[in-house]
Structure formats: structure tokens, C-alpha cells
């Protein structure tokens, strides 16, 4: 690991890490206390989470990622070289660097106003399907933490995952599921992965679900 990465993970990350002890009252983890709470699962390079936090200062954003490269990508966008310990950080952004499902199970009922799952790992092999975040076994937990009317945004460029999402969503009744869009809707900040997918000729689909 490079020195810059070490400083970001050892010094900057703890300044933004969402404390599991705050899970019962997640809005208390932000200063000032926000009006809404949004959760992004697997933020990749962090560009989407940062764009949302910057565009919506009255919203608390919890961004989840377990991979070091993704964590360092987001953190390096926030603090300059040498500012890892004291550069100002956004008060409405927190990071969860563990399994997002663990956090979701710890959050209180009906606390989330919006959920993002953008270009997740498709886990293309059939034996790995249980690892997919869009999964019948996880839907009840997601429905529990999302407020009635809350939005869940999903995007994927992988045909196998697109088919899986369509099948899983067709078999449930806790979310309203309009047909997916073939182009990124207004208000969805772009991601680096999406740009790569489009450049490679892959065609993403974009779902916007509503909690019933």
C-alpha cells in the first residue's frame, strides 16, 4: 500500500466513518442534523456519492464501500496531499467501510429516504447468485428501512444482472416498479464505471423503484 493510501485510511477515513453505535439514530451522526438520509451501496470511485452530497447539503449521505481502492479514490477527492488529518470534510457525508447488509440490519425502521445501487458486481455465475444485493432474501430488510414512498435507484450494464433484477422485482409486492429507463435519468450523476460501459458499447438500464 502506498503512503498516501495509508494516510487516507488511517487518518482521514476515521474522521468520516459512520459509527455503528449511531445506527439507532443515524441522523445524529451528521452535523448539522440533516432532514433526510440517503444510502449508497458500493460507491466504487465515489464520484456519485460526492456529487449527491454536494448537491444536497441538507441530506445526510452514508456511502458504503469495502474495497481499499474505492475508499482511497473517494477520500483523495476530498482532501489534498498533506491535509489528511485536518482538511475540512463535508458534514453531510459518512462512510461505512463494511458489508452494507450489516448496516441495513442495524438501522431503524423507515429511516431511509433514498437508496442507490449503481453498477454492482453482477456475480454472473449461477452458484454466486446468492451474493447479489438485489435478492429475494434481502428485500424484506430493505423494505423495512425505507420510508413509504422512498426511492430505490438501481443501474446495471450486465445483461445477466439486468435479467435477474427484472425477475426478482416481478416476484415481489413491496416496491412499485416502473419499466427501467434506457438512458440515465435527470438527477442521476454519472459514474466512471458507467462511462466505461458506454464506451465499451454496453447498454445500461436504470430502475427507479418506490417503496409502497
Helices (H), the chain: 3-7, 13-16, 47-55, 68-78, 100-106, 139-145, 159-170, 192-199
54 by DSSP, 3-state: which?
helix
User: Can 121 be counted among the known catalytic residues?
Assistant: yes
For the record, the C-alpha cell of 36 comes out as 433526510
Distance of CA 78 to the CA centre of its chain: 17
Cα–Cα dist 135/57, whole Å: 32
Distance of CA 159 to the CA centre of its chain: 21
Which listed residue (86, 121, 157, 158) is catalytic?
121
Q: Which residues are catalytic?
A: 121
Amino acid at each position: 500500500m502506498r503512503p498516501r493510501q495509508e494516510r487516507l485510511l488511517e487518518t482521514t477515513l476515521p474522521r468520516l466513518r459512520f459509527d455503528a453505535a449511531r445506527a439507532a439514530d443515524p441522523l445524529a451522526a451528521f452535523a448539522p442534523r440533516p432532514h433526510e438520509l440517503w444510502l449508497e451501496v458500493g460507491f466504487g470511485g465515489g464520484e456519485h456519492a460526492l456529487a449527491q452530497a454536494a448537491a444536497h447539503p441538507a441530506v445526510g449521505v452514508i456511502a458504503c464501500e469495502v474495497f481499499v481502492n474505492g475508499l482511497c479514490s473517494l477520500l483523495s477527492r476530498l482532501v489534498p496531499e498533506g491535509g489528511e488529518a485536518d482538511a475540512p470534510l463535508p458534514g453531510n457525508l459518512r462512510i461505512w467501510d463494511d458489508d452494507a447488509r450489516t448496516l441495513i440490519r442495524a438501522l431503524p425502521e423507515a429511516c431511509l429516504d433514498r437508496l442507490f445501487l449503481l453498477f454492482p458486481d453482477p456475480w454472473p455465475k449461477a452458484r454466486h447468485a446468492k451474493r447479489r444485493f438485489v435478492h429475494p432474501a434481502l428485500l424484506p430488510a430493505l423494505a423495512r428501512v425505507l420510508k413509504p414512498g422512498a426511492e430505490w435507484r438501481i443501474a446495471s450494464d450486465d445483461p445477466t444482472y439486468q435479467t435477474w433484477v427484472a425477475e426478482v422485482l416481478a416476484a415481489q409486492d413491496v416496491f412499485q416498479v416502473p419499466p427501467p429507463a434506457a438512458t440515465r435519468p435527470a438527477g442521476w450523476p454519472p459514474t466512471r464505471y458507467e462511462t466505461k460501459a458506454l464506451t465499451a458499447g454496453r447498454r445500461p438500464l436504470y430502475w427507479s423503484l418506490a417503496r409502497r
